[in-house]
């Protein structure tokens, strides 16, 4: 089967859609990808990319079609909005230039923005190819949660167009039950909807790294609490930093942040002004995916933060699957689906979102457990992952949706 994947992000950016594309190739499908120039999360061109391309390249048997657009820049609202608008313009023109290709399915990996689905709609109108969208960020809720727009009138307009976009697809795959319920309430036909959980990359299932992270001696303490991934508004990093400040007197606890994002500069300034940087708080920047087992192996527990909003209560952040797959206990400041999974799995402690004192109490509680007790929590999480977020099962369900967009199956 010939499949076109449309995605705002793709290799060498590190996202789950890469794993899906490779697996589809391994299962005998012919895969092409329509994506922009790699620039996430720093808003800068990756090495080897620029305004001069490359506009067509091959990666492990996958043909990637790229186009020019404005970059994310500093990640602030104006830069992101311009980036989204230019991405849509560039992707539609690129898709139109490829319209003579004969794909069997068009698949959209929808993070943000939902307008990334527009080229798929254009191709469907021109050729009638069945379309499937995999919803990772639910619009317009995620726009409000991110702070990009707060004007109720504009949010209502975005909501209207988001609903039109979702309803235009033959199949809508959601990453959580709450997403599915929300779309049902918008009168999206039930037969179009299916929930398939995200999985973690296989590398997270090996948390017994053989190498040593650089400069580990600076942050290796009695108890290492580690955060990985995007450092942005929706991760509620002010709450995380306030909790670190509350526990600043406990030098046995080190708060290690691996990743980058729009809020990293603010976090570093906060850590400096509160005498935390290099004392109990450490920023290691973005690290290669293949080296992550070495870092996970040094962590005693993993840290997760989500803001308090309707959209985020419905979201299962991708890092949670990675934490569970790695068999590490989790301390979270989150509401909704994420907290529910942590509690159901008995993998750690979840405190209310945006409550620094409650988070600090949970961190202290985790720190005071014996090593054996923390290992048991991690094992609980790993078992829950294998039962509910298995890579093989989830990928098989996604392939099934692609082979037949209208199966009468139960994907619970």
Structural domains of the chain sorted by starting position, each given as residue range(s) with its CATH number in brackets: 2-199+390-403 (3.40.50.2000), 205-388 (3.40.50.2000)
Q: How confident is the model at residue 113 (pLDDT cuts 50, 70, 90)?
A: confident
- pLDDT of 202 above 80: no
**Can you tell me which residue has the tokens 């009695």?**
222
Give the predicted TM-score (pTM) of the model. Answer: 0.75
* pLDDT at residue number 42: 85
Which tens digit of pLDDT belongs to each residue from 49-93? 999 999 999 999 999 999 999 999 877 778 888 999 999 999 999
Q: Which among 336, 329, 339 is positioned nearest to 363, based on CA atoms?
A: 329
Over residues 201-229, the mean pLDDT reads 80
Q: What is the mean pLDDT of the chain?
A: 90
**Can you tell me which residue has the tokens 């080190």?**
254
Could you tell me the two tokens for 362? 């949970």
- pLDDT of 41 above 90: no
- pLDDT of 408 above 50: no
Over residues 259-283, the mean pLDDT reads 95
Over residues 115-132, the mean pLDDT reads 91
What's the CA gap between 273 and 384, in Å, rounded? 40
Could you tell me the two tokens for 21? 């594309």
- pLDDT of 174 above 50: yes
Which residues are 11's β-sheet partners? none
* pLDDT at residue number 207: 65
- As a residue count, the chain comes to 412
* pLDDT at residue number 194: 92
The lowest-confidence range among 74-88, 117-131, 235-249, 335-349 is 74-88
Q: Which among 220, 228, 178, 175 is positioned nearest to 198, based on CA atoms?
A: 175
């Amino acid at each position: 089967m010939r499949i076109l994947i449309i995605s705002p992000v793709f290799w060498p950016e590190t996202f789950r859609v890469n794993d899906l594309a490779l697996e589809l190739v391994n299962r005998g499908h012919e895969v092409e990808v329509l994506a922009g120039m790699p620039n996430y999360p720093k808003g800068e061109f990756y090495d080897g990319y620029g305004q001069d391309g490359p506009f067509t390249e091959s990666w492990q048997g996958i043909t990637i079609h790229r186009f020019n657009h404005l970059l994310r820049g500093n990640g602030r609202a104006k830069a992101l909005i311009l980036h989204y608008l230019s991405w849509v313009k560039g992707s539609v023109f690129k898709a139109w230039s490829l319209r003579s290709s004969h794909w069997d399915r068009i698949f959209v990996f929808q993070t943000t923005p939902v307008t990334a689905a527009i080229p798929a709609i254009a191709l469907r109108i021109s050729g009638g190819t069945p379309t499937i969208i995999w919803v990772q960020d639910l619009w317009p809720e995620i726009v409000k949660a991110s702070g990009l727009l707060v004007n109720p009138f504009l949010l209502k307009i975005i909501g209207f167009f988001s609903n039109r976009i979702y309803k235009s697809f033959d199949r809508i795959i959601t990453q959580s039950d709450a997403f599915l319920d929300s779309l049902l309430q918008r009168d999206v036909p039930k037969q179009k909807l299916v929930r398939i959980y995200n999985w973690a990359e296989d590398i997270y299932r090996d948390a017994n790294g053989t190498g040593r992270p650089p400069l580990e001696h600076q942050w290796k303490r009695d108890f290492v609490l580690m955060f990985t991934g995007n450092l942005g508004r929706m991760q509620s990093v002010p709450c995380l930093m306030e909790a670190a400040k509350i526990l600043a007197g406990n030098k046995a606890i080190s708060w290690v942040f691996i990743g980058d994002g729009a809020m990293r500069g603010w976090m570093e300034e906060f850590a400096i002004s509160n005498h935390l940087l290099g004392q109990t708080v450490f920023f290691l920047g973005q690290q290669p995916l293949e080296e992550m087992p070495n870092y996970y192996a040094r962590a005693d527990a993993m840290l997760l933060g989500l803001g308090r909003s309707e959209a985020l209560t419905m979201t299962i952040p991708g890092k949670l699957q990675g934490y569970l797959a790695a068999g590490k206990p989790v301390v979270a400041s989150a509401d909704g689906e994420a907290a529910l999974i942590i509690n159901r799995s008995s993998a750690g402690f979840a405190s209310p979102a945006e409550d620094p004192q409650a988070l600090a109490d949970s961190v202290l509680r985790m720190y005071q457990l014996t090593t054996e007790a923390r290992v048991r929590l991690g094992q609980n999480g790993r078992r829950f992952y294998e039962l509910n977020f298995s890579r093989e099962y989830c990928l098989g369900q996604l392939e099934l949706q692609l082979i037949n967009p209208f199966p009468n199956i139960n994907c619970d």
